[in-house]
Structure 1
């Protein structure tokens, strides 16, 4: 019996150990800082130099090329960070390293210089690699003997993710848009620092949980895999050829990620050559893709039929994931630009009053609930981790102070302008409110198959863009500003969030059920790679907003983003019978 786990479960809040809520708030502050900074990037980079709140005045294509590489790397470094924690540091130390590096990254971005901005982005990418995979691994260890409570624990934890994103985008965005970009970047760094201190000062409560693992984690395989398949899994190690392909495809992919913004922004190239009219960048990325496909095909081919079929199913789902994120992550780029430049955000009279009331309720009700949870934690743990609790209290006093200041500022205005960053909070709000509904759907007898869920998610995503396309239909070609009703953007976020709830949370769940033990780490890497490719594709396509809107219209730009996901979603539904056969009974 693990005495550290038993000790954790002696002091519980809402039926879960206090340690879960330490992780909850650590994740909340990290997501506060991450999303609070992320929502500012496109606005800061494209803001005119000659304005009340000057930015860098970059062309949209340049800004999105940089953001695409940054967003992609955020999903690649966790593969390395998880390995380092497993082999060298342990999960808790890795989380602290990640928090410290990210704090330094946010601090660097608070200075308005080019070099500190790039250093800040690099540190955030590295820090996320240490933080992201390892804080969830601590939860997995905590509930090793309480499997029946693990789903509830992750549900609470991901509420922390969305609460942090909600308040981060709201408060960092408010300060940045109204008082200066460095205030928004700086606030993100302050709360990252508080999150790190809170976790460090409470680490002893976990005992040895999260220390360097002394053994490999067990992977539960489906009962339908027989002993011959298990033997085949154990006899399928990575070959030298596999490792060569991994290295070459990784180097090629990273070379493309760094070279793309370098070419777009500075007209320089790490691969300055052409072959048959094709640029070095395109040659490198196509070669990397070809090598990776060879690796995937040859590796999967070495398994017995049932395992091989399931791995093929995972690969198909990963392809659909690329398409989903390539369009969904327009929220980081083109949709934020639409909110800033093409949406009528001015409110007067009754509409302003209604917005202020709704905004006030959206802000204060979650804070009241979380503050209540904090009081329960204080009662249980103040004698054990008093210093950590004090840091947590300081952080929440700060949040309350900023929220009250923001609400007072908004309520004192007779005519008000909604911040462009405010629309970013809608995704978190809709997730929190709609997740229980979708969870009940998945638990009912009407629970769709995996392929149908992917299809529904992609179609809903397309509907969201169709609404934006309709709203932007009257904007003339080449227009840089417009005054479209904000209802179109709100509805688009609603449909996109419903699509996300159909697809995004399910990917890793299906992967863990379908992938054999020997290949679990590799396929998790493939999955994160699929999301990374989607992130880069999202911003590459988003960077075409000016070119397409000038040649055709902004409505046409969003119509393209509506049609393709719907088509891919219908393809997913059509493949449902095939994918069911490939999954061999796994649901």
Structure 2
């Protein structure tokens, strides 16, 4: 049965096709599982090995090295997953395969042994590669011929992303910390599985959209191949082919990057060095990381000048934005690594009396209100689609009953307690909460006549985020060298997450927007890969540097650690401002 775009719009929920909200909830459960697992991973690995809910006692550098490699692959595997879906298996099957692999990954991690931990992370990486790129591809296909509705559709979809992150961190975090780590990891797997079942049995809503591609269809891989081997594209009357030096540089770059990515966690977790040597005081991991970074720059320098002037200039501009992107995520992603460690070890989270009561009220509001709004969306979907996809809706309904049951149990347990210890993971929900609150304001800003140019947005994003780290640097100024604990106010963390989120809203949505504007259509797939590579590098760099929090704290102080993430982004933000005239010329009229 073929379902046309018009048929999609025949069944509406809140002015959009019902199928969009199936995708909304599927993505929500995937983000629930991803952020829920990530919220507890580092504090579980580095937790003390004794007590009621023991961790594994890993070194902080080892735990963050593993997290960094995982996060890096999360942004690289979608390139392969998108290729397979475009040309072989279709978007919908790719989503189901990805969800199944991630379900098995979370289940594996719940076993709590090193072997199953590594198997689980590998499955999560593979599953993410199938899942992540193909949800947005289905939306794109669904809205063909309805471009005026696309912006609203993606806004709704990304609300599902933030809703999933919010609920996942809140529930997996609380269950992991208060009940048991295995239960936290397992809970992530349960909802990933329910999300997969809900999506699979909603297939009648999608018709042929996202199905296995026909032979005559041209997918992303064709575009990607065309760009990697520019044999069909003529620039200034000549072919811009890859030549021998390009292939040599790319091969050495890939090998160097893989050696670093694999060797970094191996050396820190198992004392296994792929190539054990020292060069000028550098370990093999650091040497290959720097070599890969240098080669990446050389490849761009060698390739980009061969294009005709306008294309060349715009690609240079986009490359500069990618460099800023790397450093932004290298700082921002401390939220998954060093910040939970700071929260656990240096923040006074024990509340009594009026302070405890106030927190319970705040926690009740920020928990129940968003969940009630999402439940209303769920009921709206039920009213429109229950007859067509009843089993999918039943599974979705069961999912929400489980969520409400856990929420009620959580709130009741916290209410009964005479004193309250705020969970480490609770602060991580602030990012999603602030996005939901402030995103509409930023959207209005970007749509107004005061919409700033790209270089200013990137500069603002870097500087505003840096202010958040500045609060933490100020808060920790009196923490003695080598201190392992302190009792600092929670206010500093709230301010840090607020400014980090405001910085994210300035910079994060800009990357893909400027990619579509600056890069010729035939090169979008290739430069999409470059952009995701930049984010992947930023994620790995974040946890590579963050892993030294203990070393830096012992040698220079905790305040110095946070000053690194204050000063460097501010300097880069000012550089972005200064580059505005140059970038304006390079962009050739693109705003």
TM-score if structure 1 supplies the norm length?
Answer: 0.95
Segment of structure 1 superposing worse, 545-554 or 568-577: 545-554
Deviation digits for residues 125-147 of structure 1 (CA, Å, limit 9, x no counterpart): 11111111111111111111110
Question: Please, which of 308, 323, 328 is the counterpart of residue 327 of structure 2?
Answer: 323
Q: Aligned equivalents of 1:269 and 1:552: distance in 2?
A: 28
Deviation digits for residues 431-465 of structure 1 (CA, Å, limit 9, x no counterpart): 00000011111111111110000000100111000
Q: Aligned equivalents of 2:4 and 2:205: distance in 1?
A: 9
Question: Please, which of 415, 429, 449 is the counterpart of residue 425 of structure 1?
Answer: 429
Is 2:186 aligned against 1:190? no
Is 2:237 aligned against 1:215? no
Q: Which residues in structure 2 correspond to 1:42-81 (within 5 Å)?
A: 42-81=42-81
Q: Aligned equivalents of 2:156 and 2:251: distance in 1?
A: 38
Query: Which runs of 5 or more residues in structure 2 are unaligned?
Result: 224-232
Q: Aligned equivalents of 2:322 and 2:96: distance in 1?
A: 31
Q: Aligned equivalents of 1:174 and 1:3: distance in 2?
A: 42
2:234 and 2:240 in contact (8 A); partners too: no
Question: Please, which of 462, 481, 496 is the counterpart of residue 492 of structure 1?
Answer: 496
Task: Name the residue aligned to 2:230.
Answer: none
Shift of 1:254: 1.7
Shift of 1:551: 1.6
Shift of 1:273: 3.6
Is 2:307 aligned against 1:303? yes
Q: Which residues in structure 2 correspond to 1:152-551 (within 5 Å)?
A: 152-213=152-213, 214-216=217-219, 232=236, 235-239=239-243, 242-275=246-279, 278-551=282-555
Deviation digits for residues 302-332 of structure 1 (CA, Å, limit 9, x no counterpart): 2110110000000000000001000000101
1:467 and 1:492 in contact (8 A); partners too: yes
Shift of 1:71: 0.9
Shift of 1:51: 2.0
Shift of 1:245: 3.7
2:3 and 2:206 in contact (8 A); partners too: no
Shift of 1:6: 1.4
Shift of 1:354: 1.4
Deviation digits for residues 521-578 of structure 1 (CA, Å, limit 9, x no counterpart): 1111111111111111111111111111112221121122111111111111111111
Segment of structure 1 superposing worse, 210-219 or 345-354: 210-219
Is 2:587 aligned against 1:564? no
Shift of 1:277: 5.3
Shift of 1:520: 1.4
The 1:381/1:297 distance shift into structure 2, 3 A limit, reads same
Segment of structure 1 superposing worse, 237-246 or 302-311: 237-246
2:3 and 2:209 in contact (8 A); partners too: no
* Partner-residue secondary structure (3-state), 1:407: helix
Shift of 1:414: 2.3
Q: Aligned equivalents of 2:583 and 2:380: distance in 1?
A: 47
1:233 and 1:516 in contact (8 A); partners too: no
2:197 and 2:392 in contact (8 A); partners too: yes
Task: Name the residue aligned to 1:224.
Answer: none
Deviation digits for residues 25-73 of structure 1 (CA, Å, limit 9, x no counterpart): 0000000000000011110010010122111101111111111111111
Q: Aligned equivalents of 1:68 and 1:418: distance in 2?
A: 26
Q: Aligned equivalents of 2:249 and 2:208: distance in 1?
A: 38
Q: Aligned equivalents of 2:299 and 2:88: distance in 1?
A: 28
TM-score if structure 2 supplies the norm length?
Answer: 0.95
The 1:196/1:234 distance shift into structure 2, 3 A limit, reads farther
Shift of 1:266: 1.9
Shift of 1:335: 0.8
Q: Aligned equivalents of 1:381 and 1:585: distance in 2?
A: 46
Q: Aligned equivalents of 2:184 and 2:289: distance in 1?
A: 35
Q: Aligned equivalents of 2:354 and 2:443: distance in 1?
A: 36
How many pairs are equivalent?
577
